[in-house]
Amino acid sequence: MSDCDGSPSTSSSSSRRFSLADIQSATDNFSDELVIGQGGFGKVYKGSISDGESMTVAVKRLNPRSRQGAREFRTEIEMLSRFRYPYLVSLIGYCEEPDEMILVYEYMPRGNFADHLHRSGKNYSAPLPWLRRLRICIDAARGLDYLHTGTSIQPDRAIHRDVKSSNILLDHNWDAKISDFGLSKLGPEDQAYSHVSTEVKGTFGYLDPEYYLTRRLTRKSDVYAFGVVMLEALCGRPAVDLSGDEEQWGLAGWAQYCIGEGTVDEIIDPSVKEEIKQDCLMDFVQIAVECLRNIPRKRPTMAEIVVRLEFALAMQEGKNSYKIVKPAKLDLALQEGEDSSDVVKPAKMTFSRKVQRYFLGTTSVNSDTKPTSKVQRNHSSISNSILPDKDGAMSNNQDGVLAQELPSGGQTPTPSFKQFTFTELKSITKNFSNERILSKGSHVVAFKGWIDEKTYNPSEFGVGMAVVVKEITPNGFQDLGLSQILEFLRNCSHPNLVKILGYCTSEYSRDYNMFLVHEYMQKGSLDNHLFRKGAEPLSWPIRLKIAIGAARGIAFLHTIAKQNMYSEFEASDILLDKILVCRREVDEDWARTSLSSSGKLKSTLMGMELQERIPSRAARQVAQLVLQCLNTELRSRPSMEEVLFNLETIEKGTSS
Ligand SMILES: Nc1ncnc2c1ncn2[C@@H]1O[C@H](COP(=O)(O)OP(=O)(O)OP(=O)(O)O)[C@@H](O)[C@H]1O
């Protein structure tokens, strides 16, 4: 393990070395009028350098009286030269002269997140809407995930050590990037829980108590600090505020206390309170509280946080109107050594203990707090609707709905995963009539129909939500048992996967076939758009968006397949080919997309007719990525997460 606190030579391979005269000219000789910020290192100026074209930059000049110095300066250069990513601020160059240490960064015109949350600084104009706060948290989480896990191309891993809202900077589109790597440590490569022992550094209000006590630094210290940032975003309060009552000085402690007391509503920033949807709020609070768990091992990883925040965003945007169960939640309730007996008696169904807890919703917001919060109460009401009966059998309610979300405001509950009756399916598909057939394969026939959006009851032709009813012969499932299939399907919920609305295994069904009901994707499958004669060619940005959507869906499948309960099978094998439930298709606004196989991905991206219209740099990058995916040596192929990361980077490069 190398350590940035040693004194590596300033790695300047990808950063430019400026003379002091360059910097003086860029900042009007360090004019006070150009000061845009001040941190522990020194003042930050807005400047303008010319490299052929003129470019606005942020110039950070070491204050000779600062407690920070050469070590932080070198660490920053070293880190930012190694870690380049759309969600990390870029270092453009540096200046090192006998009495000067200066860093030059890309300029982030909207300043830092803290100023917008706490209504301070020149950049603040109006309270940030909730959606924007959520997106900023996701960007920052992506940046930290990259720092923590690296990629096959950039295998180094690091711990930031000073995650806070003033180190999250915003560009003119409100895209967020992590900054300030002066305290970062290059970390151990493999295990999330291995650590480095260091002198305790960081910022009060964000310091992981475990690190403070033990000096054992892990990535989970960043996760703790990120949890505090999430609370700042939710409450609009700084991490430390000494102006109020003593128990409210530290946001982390105060917010956790309120959540435990069921009074989380009272601490939400009034300017966003009305905007936050209940589902999104519950998830957001849940993630934040988990980040703050006392035991670092029990905190989620940044990768999990990214997926779950994206999920919360989808809920806020109304893309998942029914209750969906997220794989990341596996970790919420199922911590090692936890006793499940207080939750639910073992059911006769073959769901594993993990799956039961997972499926029933979480029962403990935080293993460190008492189970009395509103969030918890809401969750337990979800559980109650599907508690096993006294014989241990899982009971459905009268509608055959297995799990129900109980939304706020007394709206009609929406089923999450319905057990349809065969009669209902007959009504949905007009008695499985030929005119309703969408496609026919050797093991699967798909029919189109309509159901009521709220109850999932059959509705008239063209009324309510369009769905696909798929009839699958037993051979279509290979050797999988029903319980395994259902387990998987329930958890297969992600904005980039077709939504499974329910199933039917009625004894009256033809030949004991199974039926799945999933959402209907208006634009059909991608191959239609790519290969159908006369189809309007898809533009390059849409193709890229589709590839990214598909990569997100697949990456998610891989994540859930990694959970123990699925260790016996590979998600991609089962879902993509055999069960056919996740044959991802393109929806209405092209935002949630996917492809039907990696073969199509290749042809999508390499389509000859498009080559002229793809920016040449992007074309090269895509071609390189495709070649990596097709590497004959399995181990050398990138993971889906890496593919996704690369596609997102290419997209950023194309749009900027
Ligand atoms: N690249 C940049 N673009 C725009 N503004 C920036 C940039 N870098 C820093 N700033 C502004 O300058 C402020 C100070 O930045 P700096 O990283 O030195 O300090 P800090 O992180 O707030 O504090 P400390 O260094 O003590 O942890 C930031 O909060 C931000 O408002």
Contact 287, 305 (CB under 8 A): yes
Identify which of 60, 66, 175, 204 to mutate to test ligand 1's pocket (most ligand atoms within 8 A of the CB).
60
Ligand 1 center–CA 239 separation, angstroms: 17
Ligand 1 center–CA 154 separation, angstroms: 26
- For the annotated binding site, the residues are 60
Q: Among the residues of 194-326, which ranges form H helices?
A: 209-214, 219-235, 251-261, 270-273, 278-291, 302-316
State how far the Cα of 60 lies from the Cα of 45, in Å rounded to an integer.
Answer: 6
Under DSSP, is residue 162 helix (H, G, I), strand (E, B) or coil? coil
Which is the closest atom of ligand 1 to the Cα of 105?
1
Kindly provide the ipTM of the predicted complex, given to two decimals.
0.95
With tokens 């048992």, the residue in question is: 481
Ligand 1 center–CA 20 separation, angstroms: 21
Which is the closest atom of ligand 1 to the Cα of 164?
21
Q: Give the pLDDT of residue 220.
A: 94
Q: Give the pLDDT of residue 654.
A: 72
State how far the Cα of 5 lies from the Cα of 70, in Å rounded to an integer.
Answer: 10
CA distances from 164 to 12, 135, 348, 415, 508 (A): 27, 16, 47, 39, 59
Ligand 1 pocket, CB under 6 A: 36-41, 44, 58, 60, 89, 105, 107-108, 111-112, 162, 166-167, 169, 179-180
State how far the Cα of 566 lies from the Cα of 358, in Å rounded to an integer.
Answer: 13
Residue ranges, the chain, pLDDT below 50: 1-12, 189-193, 320-414, 478, 563-611
The one catalytic residue in 162, 279, 331, 587 is: 162
State how far the Cα of 236 lies from the Cα of 214, in Å rounded to an integer.
Answer: 31
Strands 465-472 and 514-519: antiparallel
Strands (E) located in 317-432: 418-419
Ligand 1 center–CA 403 separation, angstroms: 47
State how far the Cα of 118 lies from the Cα of 100, in Å rounded to an integer.
Answer: 33
Helix 302-316 and helix 278-291: axis angle, to 10°? 170
Q: What are 50's strand-pairing partners?
A: 54
Sign of the Cα torsion 626, 628, 631, 635 reads negative
CA distances from 179 to 58, 62, 483, 500 (A): 12, 16, 47, 40
Contact 231, 189 (CB under 8 A): no
Which is the closest atom of ligand 1 to the Cα of 112?
31
Could you tell me which of 479, 454, 480, 451 has the C-alpha nearest to residue 463? 451
Contacts of 53 (CB under 8 A, 6+ apart): none
- For the annotated binding site for ATP, the residues are 60
Which is the closest atom of ligand 1 to the Cα of 40?
26
Q: For the purposes of burial, counting CB atoms within 10 Å of the CB of 272, is it exposed (0-12), middle (13-18) or buried (19 or more)?
A: buried
DSSP string, 72-109: HHHHHHHHHHH---TTBPPEEEEEEETTEEEEEEE--T
User: Cα angle at 219 between 215 and 225, to 5 degrees?
Assistant: 85
Helix 482-491 and helix 353-360: axis angle, to 10°? 40
Contact 398, 392 (CB under 8 A): no
Contact 421, 437 (CB under 8 A): no
Ligand 1 center–CA 44 separation, angstroms: 7
- Asked whether the whole model's pTM tops 0.90, one would answer no
The radius of gyration of the chain's CA atoms, rounded to the nearest angstrom, is 26
Q: Is 162 a catalytic residue?
A: yes
Strands (E) located in 86-201: 91-97, 100-106, 158-159, 168-170, 176-178, 185-186, 196-197
State how far the Cα of 301 lies from the Cα of 515, in Å rounded to an integer.
Answer: 36
